[in-house]
Structure 1
Amino acid sequence: MAETSPVVLVTLPLALALIMGSLGLSLTPADFRRVLTQPRGVLIGLGNLLVVSPLLAFGVATLYGLDAFFAVGLVLLGSTPGGTTANMLTHLARGDTALSVSMTALSSIAAVVTVPLYLGLAIDRFDAGLSADVSLVGTSAQVFAITVVPLAVGMLIRSRRTDWAVARQETARKVALVAFLVVVVVSVASEFGRVADDIADLALAVVTLNLLAMGVSFALARLGRLDGRQATAVALELGVHNSTVAIAVGSLIDPRLTIPAAVYSVFMFLTGGAFARLMSRRNAAAEGAVPAGQPGR
């Protein structure tokens, strides 16, 4: 098994703690209760996140005949939850931000089960030779430690010091974005020499997954009778993953598993941003909220 760079091992836990902690600062118990008060939107969104997204990753990896490690890494990425960037883009797209935040919160908890589950299935499906190194229980514990714990700490801070947390949400998001970019740069730089020959094929595969995830999930949301704002939230949640989770989990097993998530991160801002811009105009027109020629909120 390839060894992970010590720099990555130090950088990743700190960066992910900042990202998940900043997400926790924006969450309240109501975001978890929304599945009871608005069940259809949340359940359709979670169904896309927890089932459709990983299955699309399996399909794309098979379609492009990716190297086993890249194929497993792509499925690992596809099984990760959305993140604060998806919430931000949903807001800019005039989507249902409350639904986006609820999906992020619930899928972040569910990741403790779904990430190890799909990771194990991918290792078996693509014969990556990692079975002996991956424990379902051990990986679940690792995912819990690097996602749920800092998320809970952020929520605890918000509940006890609400005014302080609300006042610093934007700063926390900016710090999280910087941490995310550091993770992507470090991951790509540390492994680039090993994957340079395959980077073009991998880039095509991740863009295909990204576009399929947004397109298929948007269509399924509309078929499920969600309105345009809700469908926008679902699509962006699938298109803009919390890829730091995939990079962190992958680095604990084999650094080659981190590359698909790192490459995906480069493109998801471009495609997600373009989709958000398009939907901002469509949702504004549907709402009649913004006169012609005026910028969206």
Structure 2
Amino acid sequence: MQQSALSTIGLPLALAIIMLGLGLHLRLDDFRRILKQPKAMLVGLACQALLLPALCLGLSKLWGLPGSLAVGMMLLAASPGGITANLYSHLFKGDVALNISLTAINSVTAIVSIPLIVNFSLLHFMGNQQVIPLQFQKTLEVMLLILLPVGLGMLVHARFPAFAQRMDKPVKIASALVLVLMILLILQREWALVVANFQQVGSAALVFNLASLLVGYGAGQLARLSEGQSRAIAFEIGIHNGTLAIYLALAVLNDGGMAIPAAIYSLLMFCTAALFGFWVARKG
């Protein structure tokens, strides 16, 4: 796929808006909370850093996905949660404070984990093909695109808490609309690839989404965490920042095929997360 205004301007702007909205929720106390809730935090971080990449790797190999689609799936596994996960946790009585803390930590650790997972995936699934690894310059761009908007949002929260609170709902709505718009634009632009690969990668993305939700919830239950904490972990690792994965695929790796799993996943997760939320609410 050739560079376009969508990949060079639209996606970075969309991602910046979403990360700014995330920053408006965060305080330094959210990072300190890991010391106060070490067990729940460690379970959530272990699911994100270890279980999800392993699960996604296994599914990609089991489905026999071709190189670009397999790397696209791994981009999803590497991408942290976001404000959508926090919203679902709020709607279905999860521990929102735990969600926010996990999102904060995962967003920072993604700076290290994403290059590692992406470069491993490129080598593992695409081997000696002509691929461009996620090099230091691109890694630095991703770091800045994540940290600067989040840092700005945190600064606004700290200096102007009333304004940050007023902006909470509008930014959430704007983030959701931007996410949906970007997904629709990607699907329209890459429609031929989507149609050609939907049956194969669509089912893999759906299974990965459902498995992520269940793994997060089950890990919390096995660790004897509270019901709210288990739900928070499920939403955190089951609802990924699809915009980040799409940005990496299009603007960094310049491969439209790699964006397809994230685009399909991002559409599916709104429905599956809601169904999962109603299930755990009824179960509870």
Q: Taking structure 1 as reference, are residues 132 and 126 closer, same or farther at Cα in structure 2, changes over 3 Å only?
A: closer
Deviations 1:80-126 (A, max 9, x none): 10010100101111111111111111101111111111011111111
Distance in 1 between the 2:210 and 2:56 partners? 12
- Give SS of 1:135's match: coil
TM-score (norm 1): 0.91
Distance in 2 between the 1:151 and 1:4 partners? 26
**Structure 1 residue 16 and structure 2 residue 15: aligned?**
yes
- Give SS of 2:190's match: helix
| One-letter amino acid of the structure 2 residue matched with residue 75 of structure 1 | M
Offset of 1:13 from its aligned partner?
0.8
| One-letter amino acid of the structure 2 residue matched with residue 192 of structure 1 | W
| One-letter amino acid of the structure 1 residue matched with residue 265 of structure 2 | Y
**Superposed counterparts of 1:24-103, under 5 Å:** 24-103=23-102
2:153 alignment counterpart: 154
| One-letter amino acid of the structure 2 residue matched with residue 190 of structure 1 | R
Distance in 2 between the 1:237 and 1:258 partners? 21
Q: Taking structure 1 as reference, are residues 184 and 129 closer, same or farther at Cα in structure 2, changes over 3 Å only?
A: farther
Extract unaligned runs of 5+ from structure 1: 284-297
Offset of 1:139 from its aligned partner?
3.5
Distance in 1 between the 2:131 and 2:258 partners? 16
Work out whether residues 122 and 131 of structure 2, in 8 Å CA contact, stay in contact via their aligned partners in 1. no
Distance in 1 between the 2:99 and 2:131 partners? 37
Q: Name whichever of 120-129 and 221-230 sits farther off.
A: 120-129
Distance in 1 between the 2:42 and 2:96 partners? 15
Q: Taking structure 1 as reference, are residues 62 and 26 closer, same or farther at Cα in structure 2, changes over 3 Å only?
A: same
Q: Name whichever of 192-201 and 35-44 sits farther off.
A: 192-201
| One-letter amino acid of the structure 2 residue matched with residue 78 of structure 1 | A
Offset of 1:28 from its aligned partner?
0.8
**Structure 1 residue 265 and structure 2 residue 269: aligned?**
no
Distance in 2 between the 1:154 and 1:131 partners? 39
Distance in 1 between the 2:129 and 2:259 partners? 14
Offset of 1:25 from its aligned partner?
0.5
Work out whether residues 213 and 235 of structure 2, in 8 Å CA contact, stay in contact via their aligned partners in 1. yes
| One-letter amino acid of the structure 2 residue matched with residue 63 of structure 1 | L
Offset of 1:128 from its aligned partner?
5.5
| One-letter amino acid of the structure 2 residue matched with residue 267 of structure 1 | L
2:280 alignment counterpart: 279
Work out whether residues 58 and 75 of structure 1, in 8 Å CA contact, stay in contact via their aligned partners in 2. yes
Distance in 1 between the 2:186 and 2:127 partners? 20
Q: Name whichever of 110-119 and 5-14 sits farther off.
A: 5-14
Q: Name whichever of 204-213 and 218-227 sits farther off.
A: 218-227
Work out whether residues 214 and 234 of structure 2, in 8 Å CA contact, stay in contact via their aligned partners in 1. yes
Offset of 1:78 from its aligned partner?
0.7
**Superposed counterparts of 1:112-261, under 5 Å:** 112-127=111-126, 133-251=132-250, 252-253=252-253, 254-261=255-262
Alpha-carbon RMSD: 1.4
Work out whether residues 123 and 131 of structure 1, in 8 Å CA contact, stay in contact via their aligned partners in 2. no
Offset of 1:131 from its aligned partner?
6.7
Deviations 1:47-72 (A, max 9, x none): 10111111111111111001110000
Q: Taking structure 1 as reference, are residues 89 and 109 closer, same or farther at Cα in structure 2, changes over 3 Å only?
A: same
Aligned residues: 282
Offset of 1:130 from its aligned partner?
6.2
Offset of 1:215 from its aligned partner?
1.2
Deviations 1:202-221 (A, max 9, x none): 11000010111111222122
Offset of 1:188 from its aligned partner?
1.4
> Percent same amino acid at aligned positions?
33
Extract unaligned runs of 5+ from structure 2: none
- Give SS of 1:66's match: coil
